[in-house]
Chains A and B, each alone.
Chain A
Amino acid sequence: TESPDMIPPRVTVNLDEAPEERWLPSLQRFDQDTLRAILRNVIQHRIPEWFNVFMKEFVDHLQGSLLEPFVREIRGICNALNLSFVDGMLINMIYESSML
């Protein structure tokens, strides 16, 4: 009982570029308004409220942490999509936050 399966777009992330720049070509493959709406919807429906509060307090302490290379990629994505950095971090904790 399935409709035809969809082949997802194949995108490229060049690790030789600065982390903030790597995902920009991939983002341009999508309608920015739709993408932003989907990501905000995910945050609204999937992230526990306490984790949202925690992340707002925690983001100031990320510099120099284990997460730093990934955090720079997230900053680049947030800047391109006009999303707050907290929202970007929450999107990137979507699976993990549901297990905490």
Chain B
Amino acid sequence: CTSILVQDANGHIYHGRNLDFVSGTGLRNITVDVQFIKNGQIAYTGTTFIGYVGLWTGQSPYKFTVTGNQRQKDQWQKNATETLFKTHYPPGWFIRKTLEEAKDYKDAVRRLSNQPLITNVYCIVGGINAWEGVVISRNRTDPVDFWLLNPKGEWFLVQINCDHWVKCPRTTEFRKIPASKAFNEAGPENINLYKLYEILSLCPILSDITVYTTVMSAANPDEYMTRVRTPS
């Protein structure tokens, strides 16, 4: 997966993701954008496939956006897994719970940092104000790193499936380099959701295992957009 947070020259935050999944062919046909309604209002929006009740991509309007990327695998024995399930959430389920319950960006970051989860994960969270953007690198019990948008130069964050502070394997690094190059060529003055979608559509950021691309901005929730990707 690739998740991207980027801030334009006016301080608007944009958030995009490619959800990559091997054997995802069938999933393309059952991918949906879901509007979760409470008291007649849209409480939050997400993208998933029918049958999966959790969310790895979602938006709480005028509050925050969030995506999840898989982080390194763990080796766990069956008995340990059973214990985990009694006290720890599956990440996709907890992301949905956060979309439902968090009051704002900071609350979402706090919840996604502290809740015990059954696997390691990257939680990528975007807010509605300038510089509200963070990649939380999680192990099952704790955050291990917060990578923040910041005025000292990091106006975009490209998170793939390895820790940002280490050199990734070539196959994953190949997605990060062209994305960074494209952002630097465009500059913050030319960033919008369409540009973000364009960058997420560059090869090899977009690959034959990409199931869908979503771009969103919590400050402009009506612009939430997903496209199912169908490589020829």
Contact = CB atoms under 8 A, between A and B. Distances in A.
Interface in B33-90: 33-39, 43, 47, 50-54, 56, 70-71, 73-74, 76, 78, 81-82, 85-90
Contacts of A98: 70, 73
Q: How large is the interface on B (under 10, 10 to 19, 20 to 34, 35 or more residues)?
A: 35 or more
B2 interface: no
Contact of B119 (A14, A39, A65, A100): A100
A35 to B, nearest CB: 6
B30 A38 contact: yes
A11 B51 contact: no
B60 to A, nearest CB: 13
B93 interface: yes
Contact of B232 (A3, A14, A23, A34): A3
B28 A99 contact: no
Contacts of A38: 26-27, 29-30
Interface of B: 21-23, 26-39, 43, 47, 50-54, 56, 70-71, 73-74, 76, 78, 81-82, 85-93, 96, 100, 118-121, 201, 203, 206, 212-213, 226-232
Given A3-B231, A61-B86, A96-B118, 5 more contacts: A2-B232, A8-B32, A15-B100, A54-B78, A99-B120
9 contacts: A1-B232, A7-B227, A11-B32, A11-B50, A12-B34, A54-B82, A67-B89, A67-B93, A92-B54
